[in-house]
Amino acid sequence: MSSFNVSVVTQVKKILEQEAGYLRLRTSEGDIGILPNHAPFVAELSMGKMEIESPNKDRRNIYFLSGGFLEISNNQVTIIADEILPIEEIDIENEQTQVEELKKELEKLEIDEEKKKLQKKLKISLAKIEAKNN
């Protein structure tokens, strides 16, 4: 089986490293599927699902990414993620509660800088809900 290595790091630590036969994730330009021997490529990542399929297609791990960067070179995919978590760790009820609370807080704010911070949190919670439901 042909494969490539996937490494995911955050600002704090290496989160995972594994062999893959297929990788799918969302860039700022749209979804991308990566197979072994992919051409060199660099992209900004958007919020959404990341799916890693094992080389023999018997296992698929799904994660939520809140953004970051991707580099592909010599059968090595390196992802620098803002935030990453296994999709099964997303608690829909908790995220929906957070969405409602953030919307209420946004209505009260008058300072644009603070609104932007809350809007980003709201966008992340909504993206987590979408990733978990799809």
Residues 39 and 52 in one domain: yes
For residue 70, pLDDT over 90 is answered with: yes
Number of domains in the chain: 2
Residues 31 and 97 in one domain: no
Q: Are residues 95 and 79 in the same domain?
A: no
pLDDT of residue 113: 78
Whether 59 and 99 map to the same domain: the answer is no
Whether residues 42 and 101 fall in one domain:
no
Q: Is residue 34 predicted with pLDDT exceeding 90?
A: yes
pLDDT in the model for residue 112: 78
| Contact residues for 62 (Cβ-Cβ < 8 A; gap 6+) | 49, 50, 51, 52, 86, 87, 88
Contact in structure between 11 and 87 (CB atoms under 8 Å): no
Q: Are residues 73 and 103 in the same domain?
A: no
pLDDT digits over 5-23, tens only? 999 999 999 999 999 999 9
Q: Note whether 61 and 104 are same-domain residues.
A: no
* Backbone angles phi and psi of 55, in degrees to 5: -55, -35
**Share above pLDDT 90 across residues of the chain, in percent, rounded to a whole number:** 74
Average the pLDDT over 80-88 and give the result: 94
Same domain for 35 and 66, yes or no, is yes
At 82, the pLDDT band (50, 70, 90 cuts) reads very high
Q: How does pLDDT run across 100-121, given as a tens digit for each residue?
A: 998 888 888 777 777 788 888 8
Q: Which domain holds residue 32?
A: 2-86
Sign for the pseudo-dihedral over CA of 109, 112, 114, 118: positive
pTM as predicted: 0.83
Same domain, 7 and 63: yes
78 shares its domain with 94 = no
Q: Which CATH number characterizes residue 30's domain?
A: 2.60.15.10
- Looking from the CA of 94 toward its CB, the CA atoms found within 13 Å total 6
The answer to whether residue 76 scores a pLDDT higher than 90 is: yes
- String of b and e for 20-34 (b: at least 16 CB within 10 Å)? bbbbbbbbeeeebeb
